[in-house]
Amino acid sequence: MRNIAVIGVGYVGLTTSACFADLGNRVVALDINEERIENLRKGIMPIYEPGLKEIVERNIQAGRLNFTTSYEEALRDAEFVFICVGTPSGVDGEADLRYVRMAAETIAKTMDHPLIIINKSTVPVGTGDWVSDIIKENQPKPIDFAVVSCPEFLREGTAISDFMNPDRTVLGSTNRAAADAVAQLHLPLRAPIMVTDLRTAEMIKYASNAFLATKISFINEMARICEALGADVKEVATGMGYDQRIGPRFLEAGIGYGGSCFPKDVQALAHMANIHGSNPQLLQAVMDINHGQRLHVIRKLEEILESFEQKIVGLLGLAFKQNTDDMRESPSITVAEYVHERGGIVRGYDPAAMANAKAIMPYLQTAKDPYELATGVDALIVIAPWNEFKQLDFVRIRDSMRQPILIDGRNLYDPDTMRQLGFTYRGVGRGYHNGKAD
């Protein structure tokens, strides 16, 4: 059992806190948001993540997990301090490190014994050295510490499983003893542990996310070509995926990626490349394709309706993906704004993200379920492939719609089945039907 402090109880910080506590450690999680901390003490989660609430409550009851707004309390017995604060995109696409700076400065001013400080936040290459300098500059008196980079590789919707069953743990530090100590924390996870230098560890995170985003944009570009040539991108992706050098994952054509990681991380890596004199042509193309894919999907509907004026468009799913309430960079925002600005009425349903979506899009009409969503609409667009959307009663949905138009932004349904049911159906890269590209 080790004593761990976690700074920040957002998506990464709360998952990290709960999972380390569940492994038998004592964890104190800190956030400067008093309301968030008070809610967590009551078992009220700030985010939707399957399984997280149960783990938090179990470890609070076991006395292994506590929440505080006090750095003194969080650091009192700590051996390890994980910095898990947000790093949103700045004006030019750079990562905004103000919260990392605040955490490092406060740790430096508060610590009264040696600590191993671990950067878990996704931060630009070189941040580990920068954090070390900040701590040295702000310590009232010199106290030994070490900085270790330990990037997170959590997917929203499967974060608990990803933490407990990682593909690998990446650690970077100039202090091998500190890196080895952090490695010991991760041994119960029984995954490969890679120890390298600070900057390489930081770069591994960015390179990993950039590559996954590239796979998504690649298959979306192939989908557009499939539409032009009459091929089915789902079959193309399946055929590609059998090649072990390629693999099937992240080859699902659709409306493009979103969320808190891929958009800002690709943009931040491109920014780092630009300011250091490297021309990130591929990264720029990945971003351009992703943005264009959202418009490509919505224009499929525009071609059918000709005008959005006074048309009602229903969005099946609002979060950027299933099993999360995260609206950051969600394709639904781009689609809703496009329709709304052209005089259309936007209605939406999502199992988890309704409140977050309404806060961002006050003009959004909400529905209690997919059937209420479909009532009287001119078209439905699939945004997020929640499981509950896979077995809907489409006869009921068809009969309740003003026009049976379905734009499948996630290729969730079989085109022939939908057409046999009477829908005007458009998927993404699904070939041709009666001379019309899907």
Residues noted as catalytic:
261
Q: Which of 303, 202, 258 is nearest to 410 (CA)?
A: 258
What are the two backbone dihedrals, phi and then psi, of residue 275, each rounded to the nearest 5 degrees? -70, -15
User: Phi and psi (nearest 5°) for 184?
Assistant: -60, -35
Burial 177-208 (b: 16+ CB within 10 A, else e): ebbebbbebbeebeeebebbebbebbbbbbeb
Contact 176, 195 (CB under 8 A): yes
How far apart, in whole angstroms, are the C-alpha atoms of residue 159 and residue 168? 14
